[in-house]
């Protein structure tokens, strides 16, 4: 009996040990899994931070570029060459305000070979369905119908107030969508999941329909068609990208010119007007304010509702009275070159205040109040601002326009107008939405895969009569379903680091100078802390540089960074011996800007401009931005690529030579 009990006890202890081993193994696997997931999430987050920081830095550059556009439009020695797209009254491409639908029919032929949708006005639901079917199959709508649609859209928008008031009592729910940015697949997926707009299925689209994506035109056509069919049930707010100068930089102008080679200038002229007539905000049940960007401590909804919104065709080109006022301020204040991140500074004993709009004026200024300035700043703030968790209202230093507004600013506006919720867009969110300010502010972003395939979800909001928000998330997935999580994160990380390396190379000279300040002995090596400080001082991207160091620069056994290794994997596209290193770097940095400017000058859209136009534009550009380059060096460079010596150059080919090439394309690893 004793031996039997002993045997049973032995078996029990063996089973216990096995059970303990299983538990230990499970705990180890769980720890490994959690560590792996945390590491992947960290990589995903810093990749998205890189994308967003570069995007905001690009918007700051856009504001600087907008001043140059204004300068060119006002002072260029060949105004017909530069401003013909938008300002020349004699240009036959400009669409007459009084052109009616019948006149478009007479002026523009639709050939029998055209197999796309043929629209007749007033539009019906069948027309809208035909458009959806055509765009799913990558067909274009003929230019005649585009112009007719835009003309009718302008007519309807002109009848609408600046702030639209809606009520949930007329339908069960209202759907609110955020930025689409030319991603047609997102719009089609929203309609598939949520149904097409109708009297029973009402929508508010909160701006930024265009730019960045490749199907901005198709999105506008679909939204405008449903607006004409259901003007009381589909509502559109203006975003900061419904702006013709923004469109020059971020792709929409180029998209239209490629898709409508014969009528692109007419379409863009009409769109400039249509954008200016888009309502500025929507209020639901007198409680929910919907606008694109945000608010400031001076936001006045009554003032916004009363101003003439169509006067501001572009917020990037302030009214002339505002520009004259800025010139007066410059004359009164000694010239300085402040950091783009400094909001307040002291000049000659006076405090120089930079408002949320970026307008600089000394405190206690005796300049008289300017109504145009107030209108411009009010609209700029609601289209460009972002919420933050800290109280107060400060200039939006990341974007360069609008402001950061805190919970106290939100509470103050809500108290004044008896509101309970602010829905805004304008800002990328990984999950498609974000709730802030104790649930009072909701950000909704509807463009999935915004930075890269798999980078984020899109979302929309459904508001019921109790005004309780319900979020619906989605993600268009063409390739990501075939990838596991590690592969998806690797793709996002690789793309983000590629963009960052290009940014680094474009500031090569400045970075080397910054590194040299820490390298007092000329060893070519500095500490990680010094390397990170130098990177931030030049690039000002507010990134976790110490964490990124292993991806960007090599470190020796002593823990010092070989700072020149930042540039080892990069080179210029097709180096030309006539291009001095400093000139090549400048062309690389401003390549996007120059492409936009040269496309404006290229009147016949041939891709060719004269050597003289090129040189003159370059001198104006460098003079305006304070770039120190030698005139003869650019002249020699331009002449060297006039291969057939006919006095013209292919500027796209020229600029392509100054893009950054990644010599060793590193694939993301765990």
Q: What does the DSSP assignment read for 125-164? A: HHHHHHHHHHHHTTPPPPHHHHHHHHHHHHHHHHTS-SEE
Strand partners of residue 165: 283
Contact 225/149 with Cβ under 8 angstroms?
Answer: yes
**Structure tokens belonging to residue 546:** 């110490």
SS3 412: helix
SS3 642: coil
Task: Specify whether 142 is catalytic.
Answer: no
Crossing angle for the helix pair 611-625 and 631-640, to the nearest 10 degrees: 150
Backbone φ and ψ of 611, nearest 5°? -60, -40
**Cis previous bond, 122, omega within 30:** yes
User: Residue 224 contacts by C-beta under 8 Å, 6 or more apart in sequence?
Assistant: 149, 150, 153, 274
Spatial distance between the Cα atoms of 497 and 254, rounded to a whole number of angstroms = 26
- Measure the CA dihedral 187/188/194/197, to 10°: 80
Backbone φ and ψ of 292, nearest 5°? -70, -55
Spatial distance between the Cα atoms of 210 and 220, rounded to a whole number of angstroms = 8
User: Residue 421 contacts by C-beta under 8 Å, 6 or more apart in sequence?
Assistant: 287, 288, 289, 440, 441, 442, 467, 469
Q: Which of 181, 241, 263, 292 is catalytic?
A: 241
Residue whose structure tokens are 């491409």:
93
- Measure the CA dihedral 444/447/448/449, to 10°: -130
Task: Kindly list the catalytic residues.
Answer: 241
């Amino acid at each position: 009996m004793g031996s039997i009990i002993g045997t049973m006890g032995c078996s029990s202890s063996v089973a216990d040990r096995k059970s303990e081993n299983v538990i230990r193994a499970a705990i180890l696997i769980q720890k490994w899994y959690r560590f792996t997931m945390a590491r992947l999430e960290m990589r995903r987050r810093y990749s998205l931070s890189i994308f967003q920081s570069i995007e905001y830095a690009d918007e700051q550059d856009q504001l600087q570029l907008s001043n140059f556009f204004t300068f060119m439009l006002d002072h260029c020695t060949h105004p017909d060459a530069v401003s013909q797209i938008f300002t020349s009254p004699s240009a036959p491409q400009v669409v007459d305000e009084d052109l009616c639908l019948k006149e478009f029919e007479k002026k523009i032929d639709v050939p029998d070979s055209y197999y796309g949708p043929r629209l007749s006005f007033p539009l019906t639901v069948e027309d809208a369905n035909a458009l959806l079917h055509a765009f799913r199959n990558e067909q274009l709508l003929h230019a005649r119908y585009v112009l007719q649609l835009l003309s009718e859209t302008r007519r309807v928008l002109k009848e609408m107030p600046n702030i639209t008031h809606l009520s949930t009592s007329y339908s069960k729910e209202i759907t609110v969508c955020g930025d689409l940015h030319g991603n047609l697949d997102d719009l089609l997926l929203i309609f598939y999941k949520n149904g097409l707009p109708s009297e029973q299925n009402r929508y508010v689209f909160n701006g930024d329909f265009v730019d960045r994506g490749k199907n901005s035109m198709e999105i506008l056509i679909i939204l405008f068609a449903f607006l004409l069919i259901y003007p009381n049930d589909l509502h559109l707010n203006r975003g900061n990208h419904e702006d013709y100068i923004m469109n020059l930089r971020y792709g929409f102008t180029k998209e239209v010119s490629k898709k409508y080679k014969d009528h692109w200038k007419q379409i863009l002229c009409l769109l400039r007007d249509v954008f200016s007539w888009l309502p500025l905000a929507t209020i639901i049940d007198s409680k929910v304010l919907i606008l694109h960007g945000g608010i400031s401590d001076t936001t006045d909804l009554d003032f916004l509702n009363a101003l003439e919104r169509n006067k501001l065709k572009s917020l990037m080109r302030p009214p002339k009275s505002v520009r004259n006022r800025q010139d007066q301020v410059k004359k009164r204040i000694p010239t300085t070159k402040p950091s783009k991140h400094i909001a307040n500074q002291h000049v000659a004993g006076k405090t120089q205040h930079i408002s949320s709009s970026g307008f600089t004026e000394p405190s206690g200024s005796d300049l008289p109040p300017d109504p145009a300035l107030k209108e411009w700043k009010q609209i700029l703030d609601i289209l460009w601002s972002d919420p933050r968790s800290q109280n107060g209202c400060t200039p939006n230093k990341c974007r360069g326009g609008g402001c950061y507004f805190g919970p106290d600013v939100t509470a103050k506006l809500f108290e004044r107008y008896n509101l309970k919720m602010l829905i805004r867009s304008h800002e990328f969110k990984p999950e498609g939405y974000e709730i802030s300010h104790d649930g009072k502010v909701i950000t909704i972003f509807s463009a999935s895969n915004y930075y890269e395939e798999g980078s984020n979800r899109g979302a929309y909001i459904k508001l019921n009569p109790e005004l309780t928000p319900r979020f619906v998330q989605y993600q268009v997935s063409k390739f990501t379903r075939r990838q596991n999580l590690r592969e998806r994160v690797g793709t996002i990380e690789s793309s983000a680091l590629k963009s960052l390396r290009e940014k680094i190379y474009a500031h090569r000279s400045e970075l080397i100078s910054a590194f040299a300040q820490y390298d007092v002995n000329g060893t070519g090596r500095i500490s990680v802390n010094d390397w990170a400080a130098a990177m931030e001082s030049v690039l000002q991207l507010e990134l976790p540089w110490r964490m990124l160091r292993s991806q960007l620069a090599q470190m020796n056994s002593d823990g010092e960074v070989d700072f020149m290794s930042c540039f080892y994997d990069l080179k210029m596209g097709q180096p030309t011996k006539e291009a001095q290193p400093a000139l090549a770097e400048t062309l690389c940095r401003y390549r996007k800007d120059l492409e936009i400017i040269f496309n404006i000058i290229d009147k016949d859209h041939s891709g060719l401009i004269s050597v003289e136009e090129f040189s003159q534009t370059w001198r104006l550009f460098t003079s305006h931005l304070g770039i120190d380059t030698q005139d003869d060096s650019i002249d020699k460079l331009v002449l060297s690529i006039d291969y057939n010596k006919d006095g013209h150059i292919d500027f796209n080919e020229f600029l392509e030579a100054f893009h950054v090439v990644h010599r060793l394309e590193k694939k993301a690893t765990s």
